[in-house]
Amino acid sequence: MDKLVAFLSGIGLTVAGLFALIPVLRKLKFGQTVREDGPQSHLAKTGTPTMGGCIFLLVIPLAVRISGEVPWEGAMAIGLIWAMGALGFLDDFLKIRRRHADGLRSRQKMAGQILISTLFAAAFWWMRGGRMWIPFVNIEYDFQILFIPIAAFIIIATGNGVNFTDGIDGLCSGVTAIIAMAFVPLSVAWRMPLIGRLSAALLGSCMGFLFFNRPPAKVFMGDTGSLSLGAAVAALALLTDTALMLPLLGVVYMAEVLSVILQVRYFKMTGGKRLFRMSPIHHHFELSGWSEIRINVMFYLVTFAAAAAFLWIVV
């Protein structure tokens, strides 16, 4: 029942909140500035309200609280979501203020992510130790102090994976909803009520956001949303000791990041040739003539398969 309350609170508060927030974003002229080097079809999206991901920073903690008490693990997860969301908010605000697709410099953004992830990884280690479940050999290993850099890397990688996935209407919120859904049966099997409420709140909030973000999007989440969602997914993985399974569960996130890395490396090695039409990988399919809906369906199906494999292994 508590998971149902968290889910319904998440979806209801997100829909109600965005109905109120979108007109405010329009009035403040908080519109998206589309990169000129991106797909030309995206230029029509210029001016669409952005920073809608602010709603996650309010709704997810509220939905968790409505559905029950918030122990220290929940407070840690919410703190990580808020911290990463605040970094994304600063990046989005600078983009809007400058009327440019770039906000924080890459080094500044990475420095912020390293600082936040390291602090929270250290706090996780201090409060609950350095254990992680190692898949396939089915043992829980205590990484001790090494847990801090490993966990920090996981938080950063997940956040950037979600950020890269947020490139076409409905993709990021839909993929993240499926990933959040996978943690609900895990929480039942492993008797972890907080994880059940947190994942249900995340699922509901993503589904509520998808109502406005599906093609053609009425609002974008911005880095405020993508970094906070990445923090939520990373927190769920760390709190369930399944962080080493994220490459499988978050296979779409990983594919998006790897496509960018491979594109840059191949470009440098070949003196200007491209491995993909454009990266991240969803733009490659877009420039190959696929519609945004078709890309979404394919990536959703891949994530469903990954979530099923994840549950088959861990439950």
Looking at per-residue confidence, does 44 or 109 come out higher? 109
Q: What is the pTM of this model?
A: 0.94
Domain segments of the chain as ranges:
2-245
Name the band, by pLDDT with cuts 50, 70 and 90, for residue 271: confident
Mind listing the pLDDT tens digit for each residue in 159-172?
A: 999 999 998 999 99
Question: Exposed e or buried b for every residue in 63-101, given b needs 16+ CB within 10 A?
Answer: bbbbbbebeebbebbbbbbbbbbbbbbbbbbebbeeeee
Instruction: Please determine, for residue 31, whether its predicted confidence score (pLDDT) is greater than 80.
Output: no
Closest CA to 113 of 226, 205, 239, 203: 226
At 36 the pLDDT is 59
pLDDT for 35 beyond 70: no
42: pLDDT strictly greater than 80: no
Indicate the pLDDT class of residue 153, thresholds 50, 70 and 90.
very high
Q: Which amino acid is at 110?
A: M
Q: Which backbone phi and psi does 139 adopt, to 5 degrees?
A: -130, 155
Using the predicted structure, report yes or no on whether residue 228 has a pLDDT greater than 90.
yes
> DSSP letter string over 215-238?
SSPS---HHHHHHHHHHHHHHHHH
Degrees, nearest 5: CA angle 136-140-146: 110
3-state secondary structure of 31: strand
* CA–CA distance, 253 with 264 (Å, rounded to integer): 17
Q: What is the mean pLDDT of residues 299-308?
A: 97
Average pLDDT over residues 83-92: 94
* Mean pLDDT, residues 226-232: 96
Whole-angstrom Cα Rg for the chain: 19
Helix, strand, coil shares of the chain, percent, nearest 5, are 75, 5, 25
State the Cα–Cα distance between residues 187 and 307, nearest whole angstrom. 14
